[in-house]
A and B are shown apart, each in its own frame.
Chain A
Amino acid sequence: MNSEAVGVVIRARNEAEWLGSCLQAVSLQDYPSVEIILVDNGSTDGTRDVAARYGCRIVDYGDQPFNYSRAINIGIGATDAPLIAILSGHCVPANEHWLARLAENLRDPVCVAVYGRQEPLPDSSPYDKRDLWTTFGVERRVQRRDFYFNNANSMIRRDVWEAVPFNEKIHGLEDQDWAKKVLRAGNRIVYEPRASVFHHHGIYQDLNEERANRHVRIIELIRQDLT
């Protein structure tokens, strides 16, 4: 396996509306070695047909109750690539340099993960526009303690994942839980704004209070031993 090969893991459930644009952009990356793995959670809207058109490797999530961490772990386990990009099925990489711009940060041995910018589209809701614009700025950052990390547009090292897989005991925010653990080991995470994607639905799902409460509970747990 090429030491810079990338496996792109996409979690999906009924993503047919955006998945084609997403895969079109991934398939046109100027990166030399890319495998796309779609982890499908029972889609019924043609998602699997779209993925098949772009030559994706389709992996079934299975019958267990859905868990974000488990879906990513299944996807990563299905590839041998040393670099793993994790992308939402309704995110569209902005241009052909997206993967290369993520990967170049991982040449630094202490950098174990990188996440990119997410931007709204013209018809994204005002809530999504506000949240994406205020969360994802234009300056690159090297994070040593800040555990913010977002798996809608990220890349991690496979060897680090093998030591620290995503936590299947939590439901959501698996990215920040994982980031906290790998930072505590002395690693760094980079925010790379040039690796940009367009995320139509945003990151906070409008005003879903139940989801917000669940996320608050998880963040409170992650913050418990923050020094």
Chain B
Amino acid sequence: MNVWIRSGARPADVPGALRFGEVCPVDGGCGKARSLCEIRGARDIESRNAHAAAWYVRAQVWSDPVVLEALAETGKVVLAAIGDTGDGSLDTLRSRIPTASLVLAVDAGGLDLAAVCERLAPLAGGHESFALCSDDGAAILAAAAMGASDLVVRDSSGFDREALLRIARARTHGLRSDGGDGDGASPERQRCLTVRRPLKAGDRISEADMTVAVTDYRGLGPAMQAHVAGLTLRYPVAPGEALHFGHFHDRFSDEF
């Protein structure tokens, strides 16, 4: 689970459970962030806000296609607050931001816990990554328990890190007990890279060939998309099949 901090120190990562990073609101709101007018039309966006690994985009902002295009070019995670937006606007968002980078976010500002859960529930039932932006400890734990892939918090003091870690580990492990010679826990499904069209051995895979789907635990996560783009396949891959490292020759193999 990714926890994006808006300001202050970043806690140390917990391998396999929690990863912390800095998020930048696209339209300002934190000390180091550039304003929206600086983002608009900028072609050197990668050099801007280099301290942040993700963007947080309010619903009023991502309706601007110029901003979306600029954001997509950075290759960073885009946490897009969806508010009460209709499906038509969501389609625009999905068409502009690569699937592997896009996280649909609920902004909990002004909502009580029930309302937050009500907005998270349909996202939890879908196949896309989702996030909660909140400084309320109970809402953060609820989102984590519902399967949020990302959380956006003001700073590291706004949530119970140990409680969040317990939930993250419980999600990773699935149902298990520590007793007995076998605990019967089966590997879970997860969001993985797969392909849009049949590919054969010897094909060089591109970013456009890949998409994200909930498949099996062995597959490569969306963050691997940029790393495997350009590699040559050892084996054919069918649409819907999870991509894994065993599918690929290594990046230097063409030199042999």
A interface residues with partner B (beta carbon < 8 Å): 4, 16, 20-21, 23-25, 28, 30-32, 46, 50, 53, 92-97, 99-101, 103-104, 108, 119, 121-123, 138-146, 193-194, 196, 198
The yes or no answer to B110 lying at the interface (CB within 8 A) is no
Q: Is the CB of A142 within 8 A of B224?
A: no
Min CB distance A110 to B, Å, is 9
Min CB distance A43 to B, Å, is 15
Q: Would A21 and B224 be within 8 Å (CB), given that A108-B178, A140-B183, A142-B180 are in contact?
A: no
Within 8 A of A (CB), among B172-220: 172, 176, 178-188, 192, 217-220
Q: Is the CB of A101 within 8 A of B16?
A: yes
Q: Is the CB of B253 within 8 A of A20?
A: yes
Pick from A99, A100, A145 the residue with the most CB of B within 10 Å. Answer: A100
Min CB distance A118 to B, Å, is 11
| Cβ contact of B252, chosen from A20, A31, A122, A142, cutoff 8 A | A20
Residue numbers in A under 8 Å from B223 (CB-CB)? 30, 96
Q: Is the CB of B252 within 8 A of A95?
A: no
B interface residues with partner A (beta carbon < 8 Å): 13, 15-17, 19, 169, 172, 176, 178-188, 192, 217-221, 223-224, 227, 234-235, 244-246, 248-253, 256
Given A23-B250, A92-B246, A94-B218; 7 other pairs, CB 8 A cutoff: A20-B252, A24-B248, A94-B219, A95-B192, A103-B15, A138-B187, A193-B186
Q: Is the CB of A50 within 8 A of B16?
A: no
| Cβ contact of A143, chosen from B181, B221, B227, cutoff 8 A | B181
Q: Is the CB of B244 within 8 A of A95?
A: yes
Q: Is the CB of B181 within 8 A of A146?
A: yes
Q: Is the CB of B217 within 8 A of A194?
A: yes
Interface SS of B by simple majority:
loop
Residue numbers in B under 8 Å from A92 (CB-CB)? 245-246
The closest CB in chain A to the CB of B19 belongs to A30
The closest CB in chain A to the CB of B255 belongs to A53
Q: Is the CB of B244 within 8 A of A142?
A: no
Q: Is the CB of A50 within 8 A of B172?
A: no
A100 and B15 CA atoms in complex are apart in Å by: 6
Residue numbers in B under 8 Å from A198 (CB-CB)? 244-246
Residue numbers in A under 8 Å from B248 (CB-CB)? 21, 24
Min CB distance B93 to A, Å, is 26
Q: Is the CB of A104 within 8 A of B169?
A: yes
Residue numbers in A under 8 Å from B187 (CB-CB)? 138, 193-194
Q: Would A139 and B220 be within 8 Å (CB), given that A20-B253, A30-B15, A100-B16 are in contact?
A: no
Q: Is the CB of A95 within 8 A of B224?
A: yes
| Cβ contact of A95, chosen from B13, B185, B186, B221, cutoff 8 A | B221
A94 and B247 CA atoms in complex are apart in Å by: 9
Q: Would A31 and B246 be within 8 Å (CB), given that A95-B220, A96-B224 are in contact?
A: no
Min CB distance B213 to A, Å, is 14
Q: Is the CB of B178 within 8 A of A25?
A: no
Q: Would A97 and B250 be within 8 Å (CB), given that A24-B245, A28-B224, A194-B217 are in contact?
A: no
